[in-house]
Structure 1
């Protein structure tokens, strides 16, 4: 299984660029009326695009790992869907940053500060987990070494946590972002990932397991 995520992301970014050029950047509520037409670097729009791009990249990575660790068609199909969807969404968000003339990485700024919070406070990243829900380096190593049912269960547990963190962040953009098309994407993430969480609960149950607390 080989994803053409680069091509898909490029096409999506071009389409979105045309939408923006045609005036798709809008302000939808009174609270957002003072927002600039083009987001600035410390805006919720830019912060969400940066942070969710990083978050999505790990989901793609985990999905490729489990693809090679199991032959179970249900899990492989879910992993493909997640990898394909999130790789394309990541391309969109990085494309927006390019169109806005903003850096994809902002040094000195902690993840999720645009939400009015820090991902880890004063403790720093925990074993490489940059944001809530993200897997640690140790967990990724365990996934790489697991096989069969063990790999399926660990992937489903890690991805459930990952989706919960993603939903929390996406809801933050729905509330705070000024660009309508970006808020719509964030709401779509909430809806899709909540549905996938429910599916993963069922897949875990079928394997005699459950999500982690």
Structure 2
């Protein structure tokens, strides 16, 4: 059983991003999957904020006893978990947009410290310019859907584009921010926007 939006008890609704998540859930297909690290990242941030009860609720409603980081699970199950957790995360981070951004940061940290991501970080010398090949590859390793690309706009700036991806752009902003920082970027700035129904782009800069 997946997490249902109507199953909440004791948590208030978040702002409009919750409705956007539900719209995206409805557009997903059975073959659209994400790695277990997405689920574990959501549960980890809930526990770190003291929401152990909500984390248990999300896990119970998923029907899974636990999630394996590199096992595939339905994307619909994950985004219903995020939608259920979003009100509590929005309260902690000052809004659901920032909560989605923080989830992106945490998932990026988790991916880049495990398995394939760890190998990527071992490449020398580390440079933000490595994003052109490694970030789209990381996304393709983590999800079964979408098209991802990095285009350089200048010596220390570029644009990350995603097509048919189910997470809103603040999540990708968080992924970009963390990736650039881990690859050596300083004073990183990221600005995202939605460009289509399931499409978005994030401009980024660093020093």
Q: TM-score range by the shorter chain?
A: under 0.3
TM-score by length of 1: 0.27
Q: Which has the higher helix share?
A: 1
TM-score by length of 2: 0.27
Q: Which has the higher contact order (CA 8 A, sep 6+)?
A: 1
Q: Which has the higher strand share?
A: 2
